[in-house]
Amino acid sequence: MNLVEKINKLKKEKNAVILTHCYQNIEIDEVSDFVGDSLYLSKMAAKTDADIIVFAGVYFMAQSAKILSPKKKVLLPNMNSGCLMADMIDVEKLQEFKAKNPNLPVVCYINSTAEVKAQCDICCTSSNAVEIVKSLNTNKVLFAPDTYLGKWVETKLNNVEVITFNGFCPTHLRIRTEDIEKARATYPEALILAHPECHTEVSKLADFVGSTKEIMEFAKKSDKKQFVIATEKGVVDRLNRDSKLYNWEKEFILINENIICPNMKHNTLDDILYTLETEQNEITLDKNIIEKARKSIDKMLLAGSTK
């Protein structure tokens, strides 16, 4: 039996599902039940009736799955899979941020720890951030930890001031305006699609800005044939695979060869097999934290129900 067969067999025996973020190594799709962005995977984690969830993603994503399905065993194949942005804010820093800007609703990007989520009013992902901030019906909000996503949301709404914490994604910030200019010159026919975690100046120059899922949907629907992608390499790999598989005859080019999130690439098929066999690398969370963090995720799922 090869690795994929072994994993699939164990999955059945143990009633497990594998949820995979689209920045993961592409071979993981072969054993995955659901592949997508943070919002989609959160919804799948809440819905599944499996006994075990293996989360092929980063730590905060597995924590979110645990928050949404607290009775299930949630396993992270490789415990080194952190998120540098999520680690930029802890409860103490969040309290300081709130104290400096008192009496404002706090929106937290899903790329944050469970403890931070527990201290925020509502959660969001890059797919629904605009919708979530809008749903608060207020003209001023605090947004943490990603300053660029928060500022991008502000440009999409009239008369809402978004005060942002100074966190960022080091991978997306590797994309420079020079990369966009170079791509325009090299691929004049191509559309440039960017993630809102990119620097504001990069987002301004892109043809389309959206979450990983929105980028993939836009590219699939568009009648253009060539696209430069300004987000993590996993998205480009999947788009090129699907283009071949379904004869889209479209070409997807990674804006710059360094746009790889090292933390997203830790999980391997070997790790998945190991975690399924041993049930090691379980995500555990304090009951209190689960209850409080769940409120902010549930509010998001309710307010952002259209996506």
Q: Which residues bind ligand SF4 (CB under 6 A)?
A: 58, 83-85, 111, 169, 171, 197, 232, 261, 263-264
Residue 169 touches ligand 13P, criterion: CB under 6 A: yes
Tokens of 120: 């925020």
With CB under 6 A as the contact rule, the residue among 32, 42, 78, 111 that binds ligand 13P is 111
The site partner of 78 among ligand SF4, ligand 13P, none (C-beta below 5 to 8 Å per kind) is none
CB of 215 to ligand 13P, least distance (A): 8
Out of 154, 197, 237, 271, the residue judged to bind ligand 13P by CB under 6 A: 197
| Sequential DSSP letters for 138-170 | -SEEEEESBHHHHHHHHHHSTT-EEEE-SB--T
Tell me if residue 283 falls in helix, strand or coil: coil
Decide which of ligand SF4, ligand 13P, none touches 38; Cβ closer than 5 to 8 Å per partner kind: ligand 13P
110 HSE (CA, 13 A, CB side): 31
Report the partner that residue 162 touches, choosing among ligand SF4, ligand 13P, none (CB closer than 5 to 8 A by kind): none
> Taking CB under 6 A as the criterion, which residues in 31-90 touch ligand 13P?
37-38
Q: Among ligand SF4, ligand 13P, none, what does residue 212 contact (CB within 5–8 Å per kind)?
A: ligand 13P
Cβ proximity of 122 and 300 under 8 Å? yes
CB 280 within 8 A of CB 274: yes
Instruction: In angstroms, give the least distance from the CB of 185 to ligand 13P.
Output: 27
In this structure, the strands spanning 226-230 and 251-254 are parallel
Q: Where are any strands of DSSP class E within the chain? A: 16-21, 34-36, 52-56, 73-75, 106-109, 122-124, 140-144, 161-164, 191-194, 208-209, 226-230, 251-254
Nearer to ligand SF4, 136 or 260 (CB): 260
Question: Binding ligand 13P by CB under 6 A: which of 211, 243, 267, 281?
Answer: 211
Q: Is 267 a residue that touches ligand 13P (CB under 6 A)?
A: no
**Size of interface with ligand 13P, in residues (CB under 6 A):** 9
Identity of residue 166: N
Q: Do 28 and 241 touch, CB atoms closer than 8 A?
A: no
Nearer to ligand 13P, 10 or 39 (CB): 39
CA-closest candidate to residue 3, choices 40, 29, 31, 36: 31
Residue 2 has what DSSP assignment? Answer: -
Judged by CB under 6 A, the residue of 212, 263, 281, 296 near ligand 13P is: 212
Per DSSP, the three-state class of 120 is coil
Selection from ligand SF4, ligand 13P, none that 256 binds (CB < 5 to 8 A by kind) is none
What does the per-residue mask of binding to ligand 13P show for 132-161, with x meaning CB under 6 A?
------------------------------
Residues that bind ligand 13P (CB under 6 A): 37-38, 111, 125-126, 169, 197, 211-212
